[in-house]
Amino acid sequence: MKIHLTGLLPEEIKHNFGQIKSFRSTQLFQWLHKSVFDFNAMTNLPKDFRTLLAQHSIALSSRIIQSIKAHDDSAKFKLRLFDGRYIETVLISDKAGRNTICLSTQAGCAMGCAFCGTASMGLIRNLAAHEIVEQYLLIKALTSDISHIVFMGMGEPLCNLNEVSKAIRILHHPAGSGVSLRRMTISTCGYLPGLRELVSSGPDSRMQLLPQAKANPLPELKQALQAYQQKTGKRLTLEIVLLPGVNDRPYDITMLKNFTESLKTVINIIPWNKISGLPFREPQSGELADFITRLKKQGFKVTQRYSKGRSIDAACGQLCIPN
């Protein structure tokens, strides 16, 4: 079986090709993170090493087969994986010119969130670390700069934590892309086993909207978040997908207040993006503003996600490739 190079750190490349000197593995790692995947183009590598690589390894297993750009400068990319499966990746540009890439960690998703298009796919399979990294490298080749990474495309990252963690180490490595850990965010629906593993390395509406909530009850979720915050000292971002009449009631704000007590948090409001066939509606601007105002009056620090890519089904919750 051939080795997927984009899923390896320099020392692992050295381990797999023991006859080469360490600096050669670093050179190869650097080429890959310049989005150069043709061994013949890696001109500072000896010819015999390039031949060896061609015989025993794969530089790139994924391909972009479709890209769609929206009027707001966001873009969605459809990728074909080595086994014929498909995933989607999104690039979002903000007013300050920063580019954030939204990486998928699974093909499909098993969480079953009622408001999410990806849930309709079910879980097809986890992505390997190299498939997560390749999304970044492929899109990086098309844009001048990617400043931030969010693991919140298709799938629940904490259900595939080993591969996500490996991808983070690869993308953070200073010899390659060198992405700061502060510029990488893992987004989760609250998967407790993954949260607990991350530390060591609710209300009725939550039960209805997030089937996994039954297996991940709020008291235990809060304990895991407290442990994570105590260990890292980092502020937590809690995201609310705003569903008018469903989770914007005074009761919901009271429950949120109770849950966040003793936690250092910021609340990020995401207006629900329309997904055909789901029984919700998008919040009107007045409803959104009113909810944010009510949260601020209760002392919450609040930010708002401005949905981009809605016209190309690339906004939060809209990624879906029908089986």
Task: Name the DSSP letter for residue 161.
Answer: H
The answer to whether 152 and 102 have CB atoms below 8 angstroms apart is yes
Judge whether 109 counts as a catalytic residue.
no
CB 137 within 8 A of CB 32: yes
| The amino acid at 20 | I
Q: Which two tokens stand for residue 105?
A: 């960690």
| Residue tagged active-site, from 113, 159, 316, 320 | 316
User: Distance between CA atoms of 134 and 299, rounded to whole angstroms?
Assistant: 41
308 token code pair: 């981009």
Instruction: Report yes or no: 104 and 319 within 8 Å, Cβ to Cβ.
Output: yes
Percentages of the chain per state (helix, strand, coil), in multiples of 5: 40, 20, 40
DSSP state of 137: H
Whether 316 sits among the annotated catalytic residues: the reply is yes
Structural contact between residues 317 and 118, judged by C-beta atoms closer than 8 angstroms: yes
Supply 97's token pair: 């010119």
Q: Spot the catalytic one: 88, 131, 156, 163.
A: 88
Q: Which of 286, 229, 284, 218 is nearest to 256 (CA)?
A: 218
Query: Would residue 8 be called left, alpha or beta, if left means φ above 0 and alpha means ψ between -120 and 50 degrees?
Result: beta
Q: What is the 3-state secondary structure (H, E, C) of 201-259?
A: CCCHHHHHHCHHHHCCCHHHHHHHHHHHHHHHCCCEEEEEEECCCCCCCHHHHHHHHHH
CA dist., res. 87 & res. 160, Å (int) = 15
Q: Cα 87 vs. chain centroid, distance in angstroms?
A: 12
Residues annotated as catalytic (active site), given as ranges? 88, 316
